[in-house]
Structure 1
Amino acid sequence: MGSCFSAESRSPLPGSPLSPHLANMKKRNSRKRLGSRGSSFEYRKDEALHRIPGRFFLNGSTDVASLFTQQGKKGTNQDAMIVWENFGSRTDTVFCGIFDGHGPYGHLVAKRVRDHLPLKLSAHWEANVSSEDVFRDFSLGSMTSENMSLLLVDKESRPSIDFLESEKHPDIFETLKESFLKAFKAMDRELRVHPSIDSFCSGTTAVTLVKQGPYLVIGNLGDSRAVLGTRDKNNMLTAVQLTVDLKPNLPAEAERIRRCKGRVFALHDEPEVTRVWLPNNDSPGLAMARAFGDFCLKDFGLISVPEITFRHLTENDEFVVLATDGIWDVLSNEEAVEIIASAPARSSAARALVEVAIRAWRYKYPTSKVDDCAVVCLFLDSNSNHLSTASNGNTEVQPTSKDQLDNDIEENNNLDVLTPLNQSGITRTEEETSLEGNEDPSMLENMNSDMGINWSALEGVSRVNTLVNLPRFIPEKEEKAGK
């Protein structure tokens, strides 16, 4: 809970005055903003990106992945996701990403990163591969003074590489590691000077992966998470966490922030959530130690450098789940893997996880607003049918509707209007709406006891099965209306 700006943290809201210190910082970092025409033109220019074959970012599924997101009760859905097959024109490669925006313009930051980070990663990957070819040519041919100077310049621009690490991992890891670092840096630099997206007090997390053949490389920023579903020696499905939640409560993260004069502490009314604060101002209260954007904190310890990890996949590895903290705040890694494995079909796996998480929110935190949830499930063996009763030939991809694209354009057109954001997120079914129809906190507080649920008494009983089988609560007024 509390991974993004909260009311308790007294973060600046659209239209609210900034403190003198924060206002001066914003003035120094401000850039000229385009009007609505510029925003609309930019989105139209990016619209072709959404039509690329093999690139999916809406609710749906393919032969190798399942995607689903649902808006919570905090406002506009700030989560974004993407699956890009044949990534970088490589037929054996797929890119996946989950992005959790926060702040007044977090939804715009998350979408921008979703759309442009993969492009930057692909470009740097291609450049690094070409550079390696040049190095190989140098080693095979004569070394002229001109070639030597080019070699030295390129070498200086590269981050240092741990030689012990390079011995353990194949070349693809070193190449992609460098590409991830450069792409994330370029993405954050672009956000800082973007003409129509204000990232001063807004940002996004990112957990991204590239799978090429049996190799998996993950770039992680913030507190979204990647979890692997794999078989142990007893053929039991187990969960392996592939990323670390990069929060301010981690000693190394807190130490870096404090060295940069940022403050790290939790509020009295939410002692379990450690936040990052400005040196002389009780704002913005960011509950993560790394993120894109949030430039008000970038001089005080917040960074956009991802943690890069590698895994050599085996035949025991079945799927990877990427999800925002709306999932992990209420479900464990083991529960998430169990839910995916219990889904009736691969095409519905991501949606099943989101729906169970929303029910868990209702029963675990009855007085709290449900967070946005987004899930990408990547199946590692497209020919296997362990989790699906449907034919592998069935591909259910939700097309990019004109209405949804127009809604995004309208959001961009209203960038300069500092009014509270509307709550028109994704399209909701009547059934989904009824799940969130209850607004009476006292009624919600009594739901557990009314339904006969006692979490502490569920020893030896699968909590996942309990959550999945819980009846949906429909308020009496909606029940009557249905009749």
Structure 2
Amino acid sequence: MERTVASITRINARIECSDRSEWFALGGGLGLRFAYLTQRGYYPDALNKANQDSYRIVRQFNGVADQLLFGVFDGHGGDGDKVSGFVRDQFERELKRQLSICSGDFETAYAQTFLALNRQASKRHFDSVMSGTTAICAFFHGTHLTIANVGDSRAVVGSEHRADSRDPLQVKASLLSMDQTPFRKDERERIKAAGGTIMSAGQIEGFAPLHEEWNDNQGEAVDETGDPPRVWAMFDDGSLQGPGCAFTRSIGDSWGESVGVYAEPELTVYELSARDKCVVLASDGVWEFLTNQAVVDMLLKFDDPLDGCRAVVAESYRLWLQYDTRTDDITIICAFVEADPAPSFGL
């Protein structure tokens, strides 16, 4: 059976990860030591299902020494692996193209990259009608960090924090992105204004009361209901059809565009400092059963970010099998923020 000790070899065969952690100098006396890991999910009824998560790391983006790009793309639907792979493979090229168009306006170029890839996906030889991908990207220009998010993957920073001057320093997890799901009131209202309907599966089937009092905890607590609110299209006869997605933005999923499921990202700008200890990007396979703080605490038990990635993914996998009969695909990029060990010359 898949859950026995004998299945460890099979589990390890599903893992793709860094050979070793890497160093990247940001300038300003800081750098990142980073690693990635992705693990294909376990689906009892589809043991050979492809890993629909993908990732991208681009060092010295556009030939600039202190520019670094991270991306995590979480595909879904029948061709989700193809959509996420397409976005992964085309993101660098498209961002460079948009930068040439936008005349140095980085944030506009960044946002337009997602929208352009969404348009291009609809012309490819795979299903982007009922398949798509979420995307969380981190662009470092020196210590200046810009996060772009579409969907329910997430970016988090762990920073030293002291609640009171007499208290010891603690590392506190803070959001660098906001999940775009129907848990968010603003996203629910946007979807409803576009003609969509928000209901959970239990509400549709009559097992749960009709309400909109969902708790938007954004990773501070784990949602244990297992029945999230979803986006639906309602026909004139009152029947509900797809997409039935638990996110409100994605690349692809053109069926959902008529009810507001689109590819426009939300951007967050953040300036890294010596008080920051780690930056984490991960697909929702990590965040389903682990809080932001739990992930940061786990990572910082290790000296090497690759060891931290292994621990977080292993715990995510264990919790999936504890609460479900399957596991999601799980992907994480972890960067430890550290002082640059390079010698400094001059006055």
Residue in 1 that maps onto 2:286: 327
Q: Partners of 1:346 and 1:199 in 2: how far apart? A: 34
Residue in 1 that maps onto 2:86: 112
Q: Are residues 87 and 379 of structure 1, via their aligned partners in 2, closer, same or farther at CA, if it must alter by over 3 Å?
A: farther
Q: Decide whether the 8 Å contact of 2:242 with 2:256 is kept in 1.
A: no
Q: Report the alpha carbon displacement of residue 127 of structure 1 after superposing the two structures with TM.
A: 3.9
Q: Are residues 368 and 58 of structure 1, via their aligned partners in 2, closer, same or farther at CA, if it must alter by over 3 Å?
A: closer
Q: Decide whether the 8 Å contact of 1:339 with 1:353 is kept in 2.
A: yes
**Paired residue type of 2:34:** A
Q: Partners of 1:203 and 1:308 in 2: how far apart? A: 20
Q: Partners of 1:78 and 1:211 in 2: how far apart? A: 26
Pairing partner for 1:276 from 215, 220, 231: 231
Q: Partners of 1:220 and 1:122 in 2: how far apart? A: 18
Structure 1 residues 131-182: Cα deviation after superposition (integer angstroms, max 9, x where no partner): 35xxxxxxxxxxxxxxxxxxxxxxxxxxxxxxxxxxxxxxxxxx32111121
Q: Report the alpha carbon displacement of residue 58 of structure 1 after superposing the two structures with TM.
A: 5.1
Matches within 5 A, 1:1-400: 59-60=17-18, 61-63=21-23, 64-74=33-43, 75-128=49-102, 131=103, 175-194=105-124, 196-233=125-162, 234-268=168-202, 272-280=227-235, 281-363=240-322, 365=323, 367-381=324-338, 383=340
Structure 1 residues 391-447: Cα deviation after superposition (integer angstroms, max 9, x where no partner): xxxxxxxxxxxxxxxxxxxxxxxxxxxxxxxxxxxxxxxxxxxxxxxxxxxxxxxxx
Structure 1 residues 174-208: Cα deviation after superposition (integer angstroms, max 9, x where no partner): x32111121111111101112x1210100000000
| Count of residues in correspondence between the two structures | 281
Q: Partners of 1:316 and 1:383 in 2: how far apart? A: 14
Q: Decide whether the 8 Å contact of 2:16 with 2:39 is kept in 1.
A: no
Residue in 1 that maps onto 2:30: none
Q: Partners of 1:327 and 1:224 in 2: how far apart? A: 9
* Secondary structure, counterpart of 1:296 in structure 2: helix
Q: Decide whether the 8 Å contact of 2:250 with 2:262 is kept in 1.
A: yes
* Secondary structure, counterpart of 1:381 in structure 2: strand
Q: Partners of 1:336 and 1:127 in 2: how far apart? A: 38
**Paired residue type of 2:178:** V
Q: Report the alpha carbon displacement of residue 344 of structure 1 after superposing the two structures with TM.
A: 4.6
**Paired residue type of 1:325:** D
Point out where structure 2 has 5 or more consecutive residues left out of the alignment: 1-14, 24-32, 44-48, 163-167, 208-224, 342-347
Q: Decide whether the 8 Å contact of 1:72 with 1:371 is kept in 2.
A: yes
Residue in 2 that maps onto 1:146: none
Q: Percent identity?
A: 31
User: Hey, which of these two has a bigger chunk of helix by percent?
Assistant: 1
**Paired residue type of 1:68:** L
Q: Partners of 2:325 and 2:70 in 1: how far apart? A: 30
Q: Report the alpha carbon displacement of residue 118 of structure 1 after superposing the two structures with TM.
A: 2.3
| TM-score for the superposition, normalised by structure 2 | 0.77
Q: Partners of 1:332 and 1:271 in 2: how far apart? A: 15
Q: Are residues 295 and 352 of structure 1, via their aligned partners in 2, closer, same or farther at CA, if it must alter by over 3 Å?
A: same
**Paired residue type of 2:142:** G
**Paired residue type of 1:116:** Q
Q: Are residues 265 and 232 of structure 1, via their aligned partners in 2, closer, same or farther at CA, if it must alter by over 3 Å?
A: same
Q: Report the alpha carbon displacement of residue 227 of structure 1 after superposing the two structures with TM.
A: 0.5
**Paired residue type of 1:362:** L
Q: Partners of 2:98 and 2:335 in 1: how far apart? A: 24
* Secondary structure, counterpart of 1:311 in structure 2: strand
Q: Partners of 1:335 and 1:243 in 2: how far apart? A: 17
Residue in 2 that maps onto 1:412: none
Q: Partners of 1:343 and 1:355 in 2: how far apart? A: 14
Q: Report the alpha carbon displacement of residue 126 of structure 1 after superposing the two structures with TM.
A: 4.1
Q: Are residues 100 and 282 of structure 1, via their aligned partners in 2, closer, same or farther at CA, if it must alter by over 3 Å?
A: same
Q: Are residues 83 and 58 of structure 1, via their aligned partners in 2, closer, same or farther at CA, if it must alter by over 3 Å?
A: farther
Q: Partners of 2:171 and 2:226 in 1: how far apart? A: 34
Larger radius of gyration: 1
Point out where structure 1 has 5 or more consecutive residues left out of the alignment: 1-56, 133-174, 385-483
- Moved runs in structure 1, 4+ residues, more than 3 A? 269-272
Q: Decide whether the 8 Å contact of 1:69 with 1:351 is kept in 2.
A: no
* Secondary structure, counterpart of 1:243 in structure 2: coil
Q: Are residues 272 and 382 of structure 1, via their aligned partners in 2, closer, same or farther at CA, if it must alter by over 3 Å?
A: farther
**Paired residue type of 1:111:** G
Q: Report the alpha carbon displacement of residue 87 of structure 1 after superposing the two structures with TM.
A: 1.1
Q: Report the alpha carbon displacement of residue 343 of structure 1 after superposing the two structures with TM.
A: 2.2
